[in-house]
C-alpha cells in the first residue's frame, strides 16, 4: 500500500522559490570580479535565474545537456546554477586551478555545450578554446561595459545575454532523480572522475547540512562560503543558505587573508567555511594587524585535517567555535561534522580540543563504517583503524562514464580511500589517505598526526609528512616544514618539540625546511609531488642500515 501524501519532487529550483517567497529581501552581497561590492536579494536572484533558464532554452539547451561554469563564488554564478538546473540541464563546475590540460580533458569528457566563465578566465580559455570542440558558446559573467574583445566562439556578456529575454518563464517539470550538477574529483592519479549529483541528492544534502548538529544554519546567519562553488558544491552552501534564508556574502576571486577579513568585518559574517590553508592566511593576517572577529560565531574547517593549533587559536583567542568537518566530492560533499554530543558538552580546553581533532559524526543520511582490507568490520574503539566506507542518498554510486569502479562495492558501500578510526560515541577520525600512510616495518604511521603536531610549534606555518624509502624499515617519516615569515628554527628545535608527544617510533627521521609546500587544486598538500621530490632523499642512518 502506498502512502497518501503529495508527490513533491525534490528539485533544486524549489530552494530558490522558497527563498524568494519567504526571505525575498534577504541580501546576497558579492565582491564582484570587476571590483566593487554588488548587492542583490533572493527575489531578484530568482528572477534572473529564470532569465538564464529562458535564455538557455532559446539557445537550444535541453534536459540533460551539460553547461560548464569556470567561475568564482558570485551572485551571477548562483543564478547560472539555478537557471541551468531549472530546465533540467546540468551545471558542471570546472576548477580553474587545474592544469589547462586537465580542464581540456574534463570539458571534453563531459561534452559541455556552453561554457560560462568569469572575466578572470578569458585569457586561459583563449589558449585552450581550439581544443574544446563541444563548446558552442562562451558566456562571460560581466556586463557590456566590461566585456573584453575576444575571439572566443559566440562570446557574449552575460548581462547582454539574459537581457535579451523577459523572464516570463516557468521552471521545467521532471523527476527528482534527474541529474543536476557535475564535479570532477581532482584525481591525483589517472584521469579526473566525474561525480553526477541529482536534484534529489542536492536537496537532501542541503537539508542534512543545515541541521543543528551539522552547520546549524538559519535565517539569522550571515554566511560567507569561502570554499569555492567549483570545490565540491562549496560544501552545499549555495543551496543551504537560500534554503534557510540566510544572508549570503560571496568572496568573488579574492581569498587572501586581508580580503577575507574585510568581508567578515564589513558584513558582520556569523558563519563561514573553508579549507585550513585559507584560515592559515587569515590567522597570519590577524596576528599582523591585531584584527578581531567579534561577529563570527562558527567556522567550518575541512578538506584536509584541521590542525589543533588552528582550532585553539580560533576558539581561545578569537572566540570563534570551530566545526571540524570531513567529506568528499563523491558525498556532495559532507560526511561528518565534529559538533559536541551531550556527553562532551561540558568539556573545555585540551579535553575539548581532543574531541575536535576528530572529523566528527555523520548527519542523518550518511552511514559510516570501518573495515579491514578483506571487508570485515573493525571495532569502534577509537584505536583500530581501517578503510572508511560510507553510503547514503547523497553519496555517488558510480562515476560518469566509468563502469564498475571497484570503489563502489557490490554491497552498496563506497570505499572512500581514507583510513580512519571510529570511537564508541560514533566519532570518526581520519588517520590518513590510504596512499599517504607511512608503512614502517609493517606498522602504519599517520602523517596527519605528525603534521598536526608539527604545526603546533609556534614558528611553523605548515608541515607535511611523507614516507621515504628506508633499507631496514621499508619507509620512515620525513617532515617537510615551511616556517612562518621571518622565523628561524632548526631540525633539533622541531624534534625536541615533538618528543614525548608521539610514540618514539613515529618520530620523523629527518626534518627539511622549504619555502613552499605544493598544493592541489582544492588546497590539499600534494603528497604525490612531495614524494617525487624527495624520492632519492637519504635519511640519516639509512646508509648504516644498508
Minimum separation from the CB atom of position 194 to ligand AMP (A)? 12
Residue 503 class from Cβ within 10 Å (0-12 exposed, 13-18 middle, 19+ buried)? exposed
Q: State the minimum distance, in angstroms, from the CB of residue 324 to ligand AMP.
A: 6
Cβ partners under 8 Å of residue 532, min gap 6: none
Q: How far apart are CA 440 and CA 506, in angstroms?
A: 9
Catalytic residue from among 439, 443, 505, 535: 439
Which residue's CB is nearer to ligand AMP, number 71 or number 328? 328
Q: Which of 249, 250, 254, 240 is nearest to 285 (CA)?
A: 254
Q: Which is nearer to ligand AMP, 185 or 206 (CB)?
A: 185
Active site residue 444: yes
Told to judge if 270 belongs to the known catalytic residues of this protein, a careful annotator would answer: no
Could you please report the per-residue DSSP string of 163-190? HTS----------TTSEEEEEE---SSS
CB of 186 to ligand AMP, least distance (A): 5
Question: Is 462 assigned a catalytic role?
Answer: no
Q: Which of 131, 150, 292, 444 is catalytic?
A: 444
Q: Could you tell me the CA-to-CA distances from 6 to 102, 230, 348, 449 in Å, in that order?
A: 44, 34, 47, 50
Q: Nearer to ligand AMP by C-beta: 97 or 295?
A: 97
Residue 539 CB, shortest distance to ligand AMP, in Å, is 26
Residue 421 DSSP SS3? strand
Shortest Å, Cβ 383 to ligand AMP: 18
Question: Are 338 and 238 a contacting pair, CB within 8 Å?
Answer: no
Grid cell, residue 47, equals: 528572477
Contacts of 167 (CB under 8 A, 6+ apart): 47, 48, 50, 51, 54
CB closer to ligand AMP, 102 vs 359? 359
330 in catalytic set: yes
Give the span between the Cα atoms of 400 and 540, in whole angstroms: 46
Task: Pull the grid cell for residue 96.
Answer: 580553474
User: Between residues 86 and 467, which has the closer beta carbon with respect to ligand AMP?
Assistant: 467
* Rounded least distance, CB 417 to ligand AMP, Å: 6
The residues binding ligand AMP (CB under 6 A) are 185-186, 232, 302-305, 324-329, 333, 359, 416-418, 430, 433, 522
Question: CA angle at residue 17 from 199 to 266, to 5 degrees?
Answer: 100
- What would the DSSP string read from start to end of 475-531? EEEEEEEEEPTT----HHHHHHHHTTTS-GGGS-SEEEE-S---B-TTS-B-HHHHH
Instruction: Please name which of 33, 239, 236, 227 lies closest in space to residue 117, comparing C-alpha atoms.
Output: 33
CB 537 → ligand AMP: shortest distance, Å?
A: 24
Cell of 546: 644498508
Listed in sequence order, the residues at least 6 apart from 6 whose beta carbon sits closer than 8 Å to its beta carbon are: none
**At which residue does the C-alpha cell 561534522 appear?**
337
CB closer to ligand AMP out of 430 and 466: 430
C-beta closer to ligand AMP: residue 257 or 335 = 335
Pairing of strands 114-117, 137-140: parallel
Indicate the residue whose CB is closest to ligand AMP: 329
Tell the smallest beta-carbon distance from residue 215 to ligand AMP (Å): 14
Active site residues: 185, 330, 439, 444
Amino acid at each position: 500500500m502506498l502512502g497518501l501524501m503529495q508527490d513533491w519532487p525534490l528539485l533544486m529550483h524549489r530552494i530558490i522559490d522558497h527563498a524568494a517567497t519567504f526571505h525575498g529581501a534577504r541580501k546576497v552581497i558579492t565582491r564582484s570580479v570587476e571590483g566593487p561590492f554588488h548587492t542583490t536579494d533572493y527575489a531578484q536572484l530568482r528572477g534572473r535565474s529564470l532569465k538564464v533558464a529562458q535564455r538557455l532554452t532559446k539557445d537550444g539547451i535541453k534536459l540533460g545537456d551539460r553547461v560548464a561554469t569556470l567561475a568564482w563564488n558570485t551572485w551571477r554564478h548562483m543564478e547560472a546554477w539555478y537557471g541551468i538546473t531549472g530546465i533540467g540541464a546540468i551545471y558542471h563546475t570546472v576548477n580553474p586551478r587545474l592544469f589547462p590540460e586537465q580542464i581540456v580533458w574534463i570539458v571534453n569528457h563531459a561534452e559541455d555545450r556552453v561554457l560560462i566563465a568569469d572575466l578572470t578566465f578569458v585569457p586561459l580559455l583563449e589558449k585552450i578554446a581550439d581544443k574544446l570542440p563541444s563548446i558552442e558558446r562562451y558566456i562571460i559573467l560581466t556586463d557590456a561595459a566590461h566585456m573584453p574583445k575576444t575571439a572566443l566562439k559566440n562570446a557574449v556578456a552575460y548581462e547582454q545575454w539574459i537581457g535579451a529575454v523577459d523572464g516570463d518563464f516557468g521552471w521545467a517539470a521532471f523527476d527528482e532523480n534527474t541529474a543536476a550538477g557535475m564535479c570532477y574529483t581532482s584525481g591525483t592519479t589517472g584521469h579526473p572522475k566525474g561525480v553526477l549529483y541529482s536534484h534529489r541528492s542536492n536537496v537532501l544534502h542541503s537539508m542534512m547540512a543545515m541541521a543543528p548538529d551539522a552547520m546549524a544554519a538559519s535565517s539569522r546567519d550571515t554566511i560567507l562560503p569561502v570554499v569555492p562553488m567549483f570545490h565540491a558544491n562549496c560544501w552545499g552552501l549555495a543551496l543551504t543558505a537560500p534554503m534557510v534564508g540566510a544572508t549570503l556574502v560571496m568572496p568573488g576571486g579574492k581569498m587572501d587573508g586581508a580580503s577575507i577579513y574585510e568581508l567578515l568585518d564589513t558584513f558582520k559574517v556569523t558563519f563561514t567555511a573553508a579549507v585550513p590553508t585559507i584560515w592559515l592566511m587569515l590567522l597570519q593576517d590577524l596576528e599582523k594587524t591585531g584584527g578581531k572577529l567579534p561577529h563570527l560565531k562558527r567556522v567550518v574547517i575541512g578538506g584536509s585535517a584541521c590542525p589543533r593549533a588552528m582550532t585553539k587559536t580560533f576558539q581561545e583567542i578569537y572566540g570563534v567555535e570551530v566545526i571540524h568537518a570531513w567529506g568528499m566530492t563523491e558525498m556532495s560533499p559532507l560526511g561528518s561534522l565534529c559538533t559536541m554530543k551531550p556527553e562532551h558538552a561540558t568539556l573545555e580546553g585540551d579535553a575539548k580540543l581532543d574531541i575536535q581533532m576528530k572529523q566528527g559524526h555523520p548527519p542523518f543520511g550518511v552511514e559510516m563504517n570501518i573495515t579491514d582490507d578483506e571487508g570485515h568490520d573493525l571495532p569502534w574503539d577509537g584505536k583500530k583503524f581501517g578503510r572508511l566506507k560510507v553510503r547514503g542518498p547523497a553519496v555517488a554510486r558510480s562515476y560518469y562514464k566509468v563502469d564498475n569502479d571497484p570503489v563502489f562495492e557490490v554491497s552498496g558501500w563506497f570505499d572512500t580511500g581514507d583510513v580512519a578510526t571510529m570511537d564508541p560515541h560514533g566519532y570518526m577520525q581520519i588517520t590518513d589517505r590510504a596512499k599517504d600512510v607511512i608503512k614502517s616495518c609493517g606498522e602504519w604511521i599517520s602523517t596527519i598526526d605528525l603534521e598536526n603536531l608539527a604545526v603546533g610549534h609556534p614558528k611553523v606555518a605548515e608541515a607535511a609528512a611523507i614516507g621515504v624509502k628506508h633499507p631496514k624499515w621499508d619507509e620512515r617519516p620525513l617532515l617537510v616544514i615551511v616556517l612562518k615569515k621571518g622565523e628561524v628554527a632548526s631540525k633539533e628545535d622541531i624534534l625536541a618539540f615533538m618528543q614525548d608527544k608521539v610514540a618514539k617510533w613515529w618520530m620523523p627521521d629527518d626534518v627539511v625546511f622549504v619555502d613552499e609546500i605544493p598544493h592541489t587544486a582544492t588546497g590539499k598538500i600534494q603528497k604525490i609531488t612531495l614524494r617525487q621530490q624527495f624520492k632519492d632523499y637519504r635519511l640519516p642512518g639509512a646508509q648504516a642500515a644498508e
